Structure 1
Amino acid sequence: MNFIRLLHQNKSFILLLFFIYILFWLTISTCKQVTNVHEIHQSNRLNYRSNSTFYFILNYLFQLKINIILIDPHVLNDVFNYQLSFDKLEQQLITFAITNETVKILFESLLLQDINFSIKTSKTILHNGKTFINHIFIKYETKIVHLAVLHKYNSYYRIYRNHLQLSENIQLSYGDKIRAIDYFETELYEYLFHYPRNISHFLWLYKTSEFLYCNRTLADKMENKFHLYQNFTQLNMIIQSMRHIAHGLDKLEKHYWLAGGTLLGWYRHCGLIPFTNDADFGLYAEEYDESIRNYFLGNSITHIWAALGLVNDSLEFRLSSGNYVFDLFWAYRDGNHRWYGYQAQRSKFRRIIPLLDKLCSCDVFGYRFSIPCSPITYFNSEYGKDKWEMPLEKNYTSANMKYHSMWNDISWMYAVRLYTREGKLRSDELAISWVSKRFNYSYLSVPSFLNVLPNETVTLRPLKFELTNTSSIKNTSLQYKPRLTTRKRR
């Protein structure tokens, strides 16, 4: 009776507890239903193409939360440029990339799985005895997902050579050679993997991705025998500008290579020649367009201050960071070789170099740059066979610098253009002096049309400014005087 009386006295409180209990179980039931629906949706999303072996492997990696990036150039081209269906690709092997940090997570996850995958790895042994994994091959049925491991450097990833024996009919796009890839942004593809956001640019860079090492033996000799050490004060002032120039040319998809003493510094010193005072870049003349000049006019990091020569003859841009000069030389094809143009006073000189039909990549203090794939052939042509292996005396006359001809009066007016830091054509006393110094005439103002880089034969427009006739061209000695300033030998 007491219990019944107690219930009666507290029936409101008991009803409240009962209501809360019912509400609790309804909430639990609803959550379970939502979870089941989500799992069904997730399962459908992961398995809707389970008939594809590649998708089966990729689904497996996705569920392990392994982020992979499609870098296979053939598949990128087929799927995104030719719009082929990914699940109908006929390749036996597709290459993806994973970061070095992901490798450990992947293998820890694999230990917990019981799927019948065939997993093989390629390893590299370092000089200190340590090993690291460079490539992972996951095979299921007849298909292989190749995971190339990305090793990070300052501005790029390096993918090392694969040492695992593969079937003769498999040709790797990464792992066939050591390759370098600039950092790139990615997009997500069907929740399964990422791919480069700018695919066309990624494929363009792939053509120059083969990686070459500098000559460490020669670099040690430069330090131990000749006491030529890297000047890190110089390095900090020059390397960022060099990287900015290279990045700009890559962005414009203009092939370039480290040239002259800059290339020699990479190979012989594994850095920069300590006493160098500039950096040289070579470019293909047939790739020139105005986007290059426009990019560097008024550039806040390295701006163009002089354009020398003509588009179709001996074109050279001189850039400045405020502390160092950077030269862009266009190389013109002539039969089985190329040549750079160079002007000293009013004379035109030419330097013969190989065709350079293929470019590769190198590392200069952790940054990727493009270089000729046959640097020794380049050095023998530029400096003489094997002469480049020794540091040479200062104030030399290059054996590869040959006199070609003289600029005529009309062309000379176009062949020298100076610019302000803001990218405007200079018309001050210095600019006038540069042109009129070795001209048949001296004029009192710089005509605005000299801002043009003509592609065809130059014809002088009607002169609407004051000219003062002189008896002869001044200082036309054909003796080579490098750069109007003293230049140190390589």
Structure 2
Amino acid sequence: MKKKSAIHLCLVGGSVLLVAQLSLLGLLLYPHNQRHTHFLKDVETLVNITSKLRMSLVAIDSEALQHFNNQKNGVRMQCVLCETKHPATFVTLFRGLKQSDDFVSMLQEARFHVVSLQNLNPPEVPSGISINIPICYLLKRNIVIHLVLFHEREGNYWWHGGLLSDPRAISELSTFGLSVHTVQMMKTEGAFDKFETDLVDMGGIPILIPKNIPRFLHDTESSRFIECSHVLADSFHRSHGKDTTPEALRFVHRAWKLLSKAKTLLDKLGIRFWISSGTCLGYFRQCDIIPYSKDVDIGIFISDYSEKILPEFLAHGFTLKHWFGKVNDSLELSFSSGDLKLDIFFFYEDGRFLWNGGTQAKSGKKFKYVFPRFTLCWTEFLELKVRVPCETQAYIEANYGSDWFTPMTRWDWKSSPPNVRENGEWPPDEWSEVMRVYN
């Protein structure tokens, strides 16, 4: 009898322990599954609302896109969409204030808490963009969703604002348990080339994602955008006037066409470039091409050099004017298109500095132009989406000194720049290789 009681007691105790373990497991798993359920319901509701308004909703959350890409390669996951970072990040195109108002009303009817952040106080006044338009929405019903608004710019690309352009951003983010550092996008203004999307199934929800996920994620890392300062440009024109003669306007138009053509070819080759020297000075100082500069200047990191540059440019109507230097030292290419010149300066690393070279053809003397290190940002220059050094003023001051605001019509490339240094001479037996000049 005592033996049976002991066995019975052991069975009961084991059952209780098993139930307790299962209950604990349920407690651990249920919140996770519950979050997935709530997440999918919130996203499904958002998809339905945007569909009714004919808005394209694109999932751009980096974690979800990476997991989806892995899943295509055979790594199975129960809920790819649920692997988003906090907050979940999506994007849609801004289609006007009327649609925006309708969208907010429908979200509120669906019991979302909605905060709209606006472009109230941008670092620079955006070209062609109102300063009070919405730039993103923060949504919460069960989960937090950050919905970024892309705006189409005149240069045929998509732009988004920076969160801090709205003075309320930090306090509004804090009510969602967020900060500027916790969001994936909009820490600064950004720009993206227009991209194609695919309609895919994520957790039973049909949703759009970028067609080329690796390319989109790469572009996101280098999407920072800065605006040309129209306030500075207005100040410059008030102080020094604006050349609107037919000759000046014709040159500016032809120089724009030259820059646009070079951009098309280098974009095709996947080569990063930025506007440099006098072209960059005109952009920074007056948001325009300097009418008396007579050429267009761009920079390329030597690490991005490609042997395809020369044949691509020659095949599309450019003529090689000169080739100075070597790929590993002071390379500079100059092309002509009609009577206009395009100079391509290649930049090299040297510790804390970057530099590009110059060569005097008649003497073989070498020169070096030294710049503090810089990163690259997108900008819109005369309706072209091009890169400039993010640290634009430091770049300009290195090349033109502190008096860069004052126009200088006389300029000696060997002595006028404050950052020029003599850099030895090319050996005479190398002249035929490093100094190729063409008529």
Q: Is the pair's TM-score, using the shorter chain for normalization, greater than 0.5?
A: yes
Instruction: Provide the C-alpha distance between the structure 2 equivalents of 1:86 and 1:240, rounded to a whole number of angstroms.
Output: 45
Moved more, 188-197 or 304-313: 188-197
| Counterpart code for 2:366 | K
Give the C-alpha shift of residue 146 in structure 1.
1.5
> What secondary structure does 2:139 align onto?
strand
Is the CA contact (8 Å cut-off) linking 2:325 and 2:434 kept in structure 1? yes
CA RMSD of aligned residues (A): 3.0
Is the CA contact (8 Å cut-off) linking 2:104 and 2:114 kept in structure 1? no
Moved more, 404-413 or 243-252: 243-252
Give the C-alpha shift of residue 269 in structure 1.
0.8
Counterpart residue number, 2:408: 392
Is the CA contact (8 Å cut-off) linking 1:237 and 1:323 kept in structure 2? no
Is the CA contact (8 Å cut-off) linking 1:148 and 1:174 kept in structure 2? no
Counterpart residue number, 1:329: 345
Moved over 6 A (4+): 48-51, 126-130
Q: Residues 70, 152 of structure 1: CA spacing in aligned structure 2 closer, same or farther, 3 A cutoff?
A: farther
Counterpart residue number, 1:438: none
Which of 168, 173, 176 is the matching residue for 1:166? 173
Is the CA contact (8 Å cut-off) linking 2:55 and 2:93 kept in structure 1? no
Instruction: Provide the C-alpha distance between the structure 2 equivalents of 1:307 and 1:74, rounded to a whole number of angstroms.
Output: 46
Counterpart residue number, 1:308: 324
Is the CA contact (8 Å cut-off) linking 2:63 and 2:85 kept in structure 1? no
Instruction: Provide the C-alpha distance between the structure 2 equivalents of 1:66 and 1:76, rounded to a whole number of angstroms.
Output: 20
Is the CA contact (8 Å cut-off) linking 1:222 and 1:229 kept in structure 2? no
Counterpart residue number, 1:80: 69
Instruction: Provide the C-alpha distance between the structure 1 equivalents of 2:211 and 2:225, rounded to a whole number of angstroms.
Output: 23
> What secondary structure does 2:404 align onto?
helix
Which of 226, 238, 248 is the matching residue for 1:212? 226
Give the C-alpha shift of residue 102 in structure 1.
6.0
Is residue 56 of structure 2 the alignment partner of residue 67 of structure 1?
A: yes
Alignment of 1:12-161 (within 5 A): 52-53=40-41, 55-64=43-52, 65-80=54-69, 85-101=79-95, 104-105=98-99, 107-108=101-102, 111=105, 114-125=109-120, 131-161=132-162
> What secondary structure does 2:98 align onto?
helix
Q: Residues 413, 267 of structure 1: CA spacing in aligned structure 2 closer, same or farther, 3 A cutoff?
A: same
Which of 382, 388, 406 is the matching residue for 2:425? 406
| Counterpart code for 1:118 | H
Q: Residues 309, 236 of structure 1: CA spacing in aligned structure 2 closer, same or farther, 3 A cutoff?
A: same
Instruction: Provide the C-alpha distance between the structure 2 equivalents of 1:391 and 1:144, rounded to a whole number of angstroms.
Output: 49
Counterpart residue number, 2:33: none
The normalised TM-score by structure 2 is 0.75
| Counterpart code for 1:183 | K
Residues paired across the two proteins, number: 370
Per-residue deviation, residues 231-266 of structure 1 (Å, max 9, x unmatched) = 432232122331332343344333322111111111
Q: Residues 134, 348 of structure 1: CA spacing in aligned structure 2 closer, same or farther, 3 A cutoff?
A: same
Give the C-alpha shift of residue 224 in structure 1.
1.8
Counterpart residue number, 1:222: 236
| Counterpart code for 2:91 | A
Is residue 358 of structure 2 the alignment partner of residue 347 of structure 1?
A: no
| Counterpart code for 2:137 | I
| Counterpart code for 2:40 | S
> What secondary structure does 2:155 align onto?
coil
Is the CA contact (8 Å cut-off) linking 1:159 and 1:174 kept in structure 2? no
Is the CA contact (8 Å cut-off) linking 1:55 and 1:87 kept in structure 2? no
Instruction: Provide the C-alpha distance between the structure 1 equivalents of 2:71 and 2:404, rounded to a whole number of angstroms.
Output: 47
| Counterpart code for 1:215 | S
| Counterpart code for 2:98 | K
Is the CA contact (8 Å cut-off) linking 1:211 and 1:362 kept in structure 2? yes
Give the C-alpha shift of residue 303 in structure 1.
5.4
| Counterpart code for 1:363 | E
Instruction: Provide the C-alpha distance between the structure 2 equivalents of 1:408 and 1:333, rounded to a whole number of angstroms.
Output: 23
Instruction: Provide the C-alpha distance between the structure 1 equivalents of 2:161 and 2:338, rounded to a whole number of angstroms.
Output: 38
Q: Greater helix percent: which structure?
A: 2
Q: Residues 87, 393 of structure 1: CA spacing in aligned structure 2 closer, same or farther, 3 A cutoff?
A: closer
Rg (Cα) greater in structure: 1
Which of 191, 194, 211 is the matching residue for 1:183? 194
> What secondary structure does 1:349 align onto?
strand
| Counterpart code for 1:175 | M
Q: Residues 286, 155 of structure 1: CA spacing in aligned structure 2 closer, same or farther, 3 A cutoff?
A: same
Is residue 271 of structure 2 the alignment partner of residue 254 of structure 1?
A: yes
> What secondary structure does 1:91 align onto?
coil
Instruction: Provide the C-alpha distance between the structure 1 equivalents of 2:275 and 2:80, rounded to a whole number of angstroms.
Output: 39
Per-residue deviation, residues 71-93 of structure 1 (Å, max 9, x unmatched) = 44454344336756533314222
Moved more, 139-148 or 77-86: 77-86
Give the C-alpha shift of residue 342 in structure 1.
0.9
Give the C-alpha shift of residue 62 in structure 1.
5.0
Is the CA contact (8 Å cut-off) linking 1:67 and 1:193 kept in structure 2? no
Percent identical = 23
Q: Residues 147, 103 of structure 1: CA spacing in aligned structure 2 closer, same or farther, 3 A cutoff?
A: farther
The normalised TM-score by structure 1 is 0.68
Is the CA contact (8 Å cut-off) linking 1:307 and 1:316 kept in structure 2? yes
> What secondary structure does 1:376 align onto?
helix
Q: Residues 216, 272 of structure 1: CA spacing in aligned structure 2 closer, same or farther, 3 A cutoff?
A: same
Alignment of 1:412-423 (within 5 A): 412-417=431-436
Instruction: Provide the C-alpha distance between the structure 2 equivalents of 1:130 and 1:401, rounded to a whole number of angstroms.
Output: 41
Is residue 306 of structure 2 the alignment partner of residue 289 of structure 1?
A: yes
Q: Residues 306, 95 of structure 1: CA spacing in aligned structure 2 closer, same or farther, 3 A cutoff?
A: farther
